[in-house]
Structure 1
């Protein structure tokens, strides 16, 4: 698949589904699977049309929205499900003010050459979200595309999954979040220099800069993680938090990789989160923290062993 984030026109007729697809979880995957299957049957280019920034970021800038994926992460995950194309439309106030018919004609018909659209029964579009699926069906007759409705149950599954994933991550319940995602939740970012606290504890860490402020970071705590570095899967444990034993104030994301001796500065890493070991808390002394870190490592290694059974 060649993700398409520009406004270049599709040369071939397409089958499209439209949405934010934040998380690309099991509910979304069901819709994408249907899209790809129907596209192959009808000889149409299977296309996801998604938007960035999130509409609320533009229309409600005071709303503190947290997303499961950065736009680059979303694009990368979508690329794994057999789609022919991912189109990322820049959401602006000008775009938001397009009339329903202008949106259909300019984007869906002229730009994407839509012949078949799979969409939720509750889909709204156009200025002030004034048009609905019935309007889209009318436009379909006018402009030559079919509208296929996603059932209320499937839409409910999508909504429930998104809510459950966010709640679970904020509670540190990684297993539930991952079960709804269908893959491990992950954080991606560049390795930056930290304060060097890990080295003093004999647990050197890679400090991850998750640059996007809108990325949802799980609850503070210690987690078992995995990353692919130079083509090899490497396991480790990650601390999200403020280092309260050292009177820290700012949240950091620090990963200690097991059996790895490498300079990771300035490398971009994808950190898959597999298991929640414990919450972060303040220790009475550095020595007690060191003992706890050794115990954390033993617990992490036991969990990793189970993964390979």
Structure 2
């Protein structure tokens, strides 16, 4: 997949089949659209093109609203789209100026003049242009004038999978990582750098990697203990992790601490990826480190059983 970040660098393609959207999470609903995109490109001997935006439009249009949490960073979005067989990805910088483009200007300047689109594939609820004024009806009415073929993914095709990015966020905020995985078509994951922690885990036989997530908008699942698979430079490992404040030792700020089973190498400074498999239990305050250690032993047994 060719990734392009500037309009001026986009090549003139012979048969561009295009879709556009934020595609946060690239969930199974998005995958319906993307599957049809790549299929249509193959049928016409053309090229599949995804147009997406970064930063997320909400952070530009409502900068005072800090409630937005993303299911995928732009790097994760790129990786997911590549796995789905997309030929070209254009990442447009989303600015206030861009948001002022009318639907006519957006179609003419971006879809036609830059992408030389032959066919546009969109979801039934896709909107574009200033104040989201454009949609499928507008495209249908003007398709002949634009010399553009337009295909809408029917509402029932999207609704039957019953997925939206907001539903996935809600599931993760409740710790329901199995539900999120079903909606995403894969386990929810996050990446971060292993940093120095308090090193209390190693004193009770459960050393942990303290993970710092660099993307501040990335959604962190609910506090609690999880089973997970962790990818490091050394490979994939079964693991359990805790998201919380470590109340047993009077912790005051949230951390992500991962214990890799049968692994004792140094991970400091390394970026690792955590794929959430199952929710084990809520975070709890124990009366002693001995009680905590006993619970961690049970957590490990449970996690290993769930991880297979």
Match of 2:210 in 1: 207
Give the secondary structure class of the aligned counterpart of 1:3: strand
Is residue 144 of structure 2 the alignment partner of residue 144 of structure 1? no
Give the match's secondary structure for 1:87.
strand
Equivalent residue number for residue 34 of structure 2? 32
Give structure 1 stretches of 5+ with no counterpart.
Answer: none
Work out whether residues 277 and 307 of structure 2, in 8 Å CA contact, stay in contact via their aligned partners in 1: no
- The offset of 1:157, in angstroms, is 4.9
Instruction: Tell me how far apart the structure 2 counterparts of residues 304 and 257 of structure 1 sit (CA, whole Å).
Output: 12
Deviations 1:127-152 (A, max 9, x none): 22222222223443223221111212
Structure 1 residue matching 2:134: 3-state secondary structure: coil
- Structure 1 range deviating more: 258-267 or 132-141: 132-141
Indicate yes or no: 2:125 matched with 1:122. yes
| Residues 132, 31 of structure 1: alpha-carbon distance in 2 compared, 3 angstrom cutoff | closer
1:158-173 to 2 correspondences below 5 Å? 160-173=163-176
Residue equivalent to 1:15 = 17
**Structure 1 length as normaliser, TM-score?**
0.93
Aligned residue runs from structure 1 range 65-144, under 5 A: 65-144=68-147
Partner of 1:186: 189
Match of 1:46 in 2: 48
Which of 220, 224, 227 is the matching residue for 2:223? 220
Partner residue of 2:6? 6
Deviates more, 1:169-178 or 1:2-11: 2-11
How do 1:285-304 residues align onto structure 2 when only pairs under 5 Å count?
Answer: 285-304=288-307
Q: For the residues of structure 1 that align with 2:141 and 2:23, how far apart are their CA atoms?
A: 25
SS at match of 1:292: helix
Q: Secondary structure at the match of 2:237?
A: strand
Deviates more, 1:126-135 or 1:53-62: 126-135
Contact 2:33 2:123 in 1 (8 A): no
The 1:168/1:190 distance shift into structure 2, 3 A limit, reads: same
Structure 2: tracts of 5 or more residues without a match: none
Asked if the contact 1:221–1:279 (Cα under 8 Å) also holds between the matched residues in 2, the reply is: yes
Partner Cα distance (2:134, 2:33) in 1: 22
Matching of residues 246-261 of structure 1 within 5 Å: 246-261=249-264
CA deviations 1:26-70 (Å, max 9, x no partner) are 111111111101100101110111111111111112221111111
Contact 2:119–2:151 (Cα < 8 Å) also in 1: yes
Q: Distance in 2 between matches of 1:207 and 1:231?
A: 17
What TM-score, normalized by structure 2, do the two folds share? 0.94
Q: Kindly state the Cα deviation for residue 230 of structure 1 after the two structures are TM-superposed.
A: 3.0
